[in-house]
Amino acid sequence: MAVILVTGCAGFIGSHLTEKLLKEGYRVVGIDNFDPFYDRSIKERNMKSFIKHPSFLFFELDLTDGPTMEANLADIEIDGIVHLAGKAGVRPSIMSPHAYTRANVTATQNILEMMRKRGIRKMAFASSSSVYGNSTDIPFLETQDVSNPISPYAFTKKACELANYTYHTLYNLDIVNMRFFTVFGPRQRPDLAIHKFTELILHKAEIPMFGDGSTSRDYTYYEDTVDGIYKALQYLFAHDKVYEIVNLGNNQPVKLTEMIRAIEKATGEKAKIKQLPMQAGDVDITYANIDKAKKLFGYNPQYSFEEGVRNFVEWYKSVHAECNL
C-alpha cells in the first residue's frame, strides 16, 4: 500500500486523518514540531492511538528547516503528501505575522522543493475559508476572486495556493488545495470557540461574544473533513495533471447565537454572555458552496451541527474526567 506523508500529524485534523489512513491500510510517515501554540501534552494524547502502530513512522521536525527535513526523509519512500502543518488562527496571526509567513509559506515552499527534487507528484494541501475575506458573494465559490485577504493567516494560505500552482505548472505536480471551513469536534484546538465556550459554560464563567451574535460560520464536523481529505487523496492517485481548489465545508452556516444555544443544550447549562466589539480580522460569514467537491470525488457531509456539538461535549467531559482521576 502507498506511503503517505502527513505533516501536522499530531494536531486535531492530522491525528484523525492518520488514524483513518492507517485503518485503510496505508503506511503513514508523520511529522509534527509540537508548536507551543497550545500544550504539547494535548498533541501527545492525540497520537496515543497510533504512535506505536507498525505502519506509522514519526519525526519531530520543523518544516521551516528544509535541509533537516530532507535529510531525515531521504531514505523513505513517499507516494503522496497531505500537508496540514502550519500556524493556525486569524487573530494570533495579526500579532505575529512574520511567524505565520515562516511557518506557513516557507514550510510549504520546502515541501514543494522536496517534491520537485524527489519526484513526489501528489499533494493534498490544507488551505482555508479565510482566503475569501469578507466577500459578500455567498455561498463562496472556488472561482471567486480571493485577492483581498483581511488577516496575515489568510494571505499565507493564499500565497501557498499560488506557490502550489507555480510548482504544478513548472514541475507537473498534482495538487488539490482544500479550503477548510471551521472544522470542529473531538480533539479541537482549545483556543477555538466551541472548545473555549464549552469549557467556560461548564465552569459557569462568562463567555466573550464578539459583536451582536449574528456572525455565521460554516461549521464542519471533523469526520466529514477527514472523509473529504481522504477522497481528495484518492482523486489525486487516480488522475494526472491535477490542480484543483475545492471547498470542504458543510454548506450550512450557523450564527454565533445559535452555536451558543447548541452548547447550552448539549451541556445542560446556561451561558453567561459578555458582549464585546467585533475583532479585527474577523469575517461576517463563511459559507461553502461544495458542489465542486461533490462532483470531483463524492464529498458529502453527513453530520449535523447539533450532533457534532453533542459529540464534542461528550468527548470534552470524558477527557477531563480522565484527567481528574
Q: Is 149 helix (H, G, I), strand (E, B) or coil?
A: coil
Residues in the chain: 325
Write out the E strands in the chain. Answer: 3-7, 27-32, 56-60, 80-83, 122-128, 174-180, 183-184, 206-210, 216-217, 220-221, 243-248, 254-255, 272-276
Q: How far is Cα 214 from Cα 217, in angstroms, rounded to an integer?
A: 10
Pairing of strands 254-255, 216-217: antiparallel
CA atoms within 13 A of residue 97's CA, in its CB half-sphere = 7
According to the model, what pLDDT value does residue 208 have? 92
Q: Is 152 helix (H, G, I), strand (E, B) or coil?
A: helix
Q: How far is Cα 152 from Cα 149, in angstroms, rounded to an integer?
A: 8
Write out the E strands in 101-249. Answer: 122-128, 174-180, 183-184, 206-210, 216-217, 220-221, 243-248
- Indicate which residue of 26, 153, 230, 316 is catalytic: 153
According to the model, what pLDDT value does residue 324 have? 56
Angle ∠(171,176,181) on CA atoms, nearest 5 = 145
pLDDT digits 0-9 by tens, 264-319 = 999 999 999 999 888 777 788 999 999 999 999 999 999 999 999 999 999 999 99
Q: How far is Cα 1 from Cα 275, in angstroms, rounded to an integer?
A: 52
Cα diameter, the chain: 56
Q: Is 305 helix (H, G, I), strand (E, B) or coil?
A: helix
Active-site residue flag, 153: yes
Strand partners of residue 220: 183
Distance of CA 190 to the CA centre of its chain: 14
Domain coordinates in residue numbering, the chain: 3-183+220-251+287-297
- Fill in the amino acid letter for 280: A
Strand partners of residue 81: 5, 123
Q: Is 323 helix (H, G, I), strand (E, B) or coil?
A: helix
pLDDT digits 0-9 by tens, 227-248 = 999 999 999 999 999 999 999 9
| pLDDT < 50 stretches in the chain | 325
Please give the CATH topology (third level) of the domain spanning 3-183+220-251+287-297.
Rossmann fold (3.40.50)
Crossing angle of helices 222-238 and 12-23, in 10° steps, is: 60
According to the model, what pLDDT value does residue 281 have? 73
Confirm if 162 and 109 have CB atoms less than 8 A apart. Answer: no
Cell 455567498 appears where? 138
Radius of gyration of the chain (CA): 19
